[in-house]
Structure 1
Amino acid sequence: MLQENETLSEYSFERRFDERGAIEWMQANWSKAFVFSALYAALVFGGQHYMKPRPKMNLRRPLVLWSLSLALFSIIGAVRTGSYMLHILSSSGFRRSICDQSFYNGPVSKFWAYAFVLSKAPELGDTAFIVLRKQKLLFLHWYHHITVLLYSWYSYKDMVAGGGWFMTMNYVVHALMYSYYAVRAAGLRVPRPFAVLITSAQIVQMFMGLAVTGLVYRWLQHGDCPSRIDNITWAALMYLSYLLLFSNFFYQTYMRPHSAKTSKAE
Structure 2
Amino acid sequence: MEEHNVSVFLLQEYDFEKRFDDQEAIQWMQENWSKSIFFSLLYAALIFGGQHFMKERKRFELRRPLVLWSFALAIFSIIGAVRTGWYMFNILLSNGFKQSICDRGFYNAPVSKFWAYAFVVSKVPELGDTLFIVLRKQKLIFLHWYHHITVLLYTWFTYKDTVSGGGWFMTMNFTVHAFMYSYYTLRAAKIQVPRSCAMFITITQILQMVMGTFVNVLVYKWMQSGTGTCSSTMENIFWSTIMYTSYLILFCSFFYNSYMQSSKKRKDD
Write the distance in 1 (CA, Å) between the matches of 2:116 and 2:166: 9
- Runs of at least 5 residues in structure 1 that lack an aligned partner in the other structure: 1-5
Amino acid at match of 1:196: M
Partners of 2:75 and 2:42 lie apart in 1 by: 27
Corresponding residue for residue 47 of structure 2: 44
Pick from 238, 245, 249 the counterpart of residue 244 of structure 1: 249
Q: Alignment partner of 2:81: what SS?
A: helix
Please report how far the alpha carbon of residue 15 of structure 1 lies from its aligned counterpart in structure 2 after TM superposition. 1.7
Q: Structure 1, residues 120-168: CA drift from partner, whole Å, max 9, x if none?
A: 0000000000000000000000000000000000000000110000000
Q: Distance in 2 between matches of 1:22 and 1:251?
A: 41
Residue 259 of structure 2 corresponds to residue 254 of structure 1: yes
Aligned partner of 2:3 in structure 1 is none
**Any residues of structure 2 matched to 1:173-212 within 5 Å, and which?**
173-212=176-215
Using the alignment, how far apart are the partners of 1:261 and 1:245 within structure 2?
23
Q: Map 1:94-173 onto structure 2 (within 5 A).
A: 94-173=97-176
- Distance in structure 1 (CA, Å) of the matches to 2:96 and 2:183: 33
Aligned residue among 225, 229, 247 for 1:224: 229
11, 28, 31: which one pairs with 2:31? 28
CA shift, 1:262, in A, is 11
Cα displacement string for residues 7-47 of structure 1 (whole angstroms, at most 9, x for unaligned residues): 53211211221000000000000000000000000000000
- Distance in 2 between the 1:81 and 1:213 partners? 19
Measure how far apart 1:258 and its partner are: 5.2
Question: What is the number of residues matched between the two proteins?
Answer: 258
Runs of 4+ more than 6 Å apart:
none
Question: Equivalents in 2 of 1:187, 1:148: separation in Å?
Answer: 29
Query: Quick one: which amino acid aligns to residue 157 of structure 1?
Result: K
Unaligned segments of structure 2, at least 5 residues: 1-6
In the alignment, the residues of structure 2 paired with residue 59 and residue 262 of structure 1 have an alpha-carbon distance, to the nearest angstrom, of 35
CA deviation after TM superposition for structure 1 residue 87, in Å: 1.1
Q: Distance in 1 between matches of 2:164 and 2:89?
A: 17
- What letter corresponds to residue 219 of structure 2 in structure 1? V
- CA offset at residue 257 of structure 1? 4.8
Counterpart residue type for residue 129 of structure 2: D
Q: Which amino acid aligns with 1:166?
A: F
Deviation at 1:245, TM superposition (A): 0.2
Query: What is the alpha-carbon distance in structure 2 between the residues aligned to residue 209 and residue 23 of structure 1?
Result: 23
Which moves more between the two structures, 14-23 or 253-262? Answer: 253-262
Amino acid at match of 1:215: L
Cα offset, 1:261, TM superposition: 8.8
1:92 is matched by which residue type in structure 2? N
With normalisation by structure 1, the TM-score equals 0.94
1:85 aligns with 2:88: yes
AA matched with 2:256:
Y
RMSD (Å) for aligned C-alpha atoms: 1.5
Which of 46, 64, 68 lines up with 1:65 in the alignment? Answer: 68
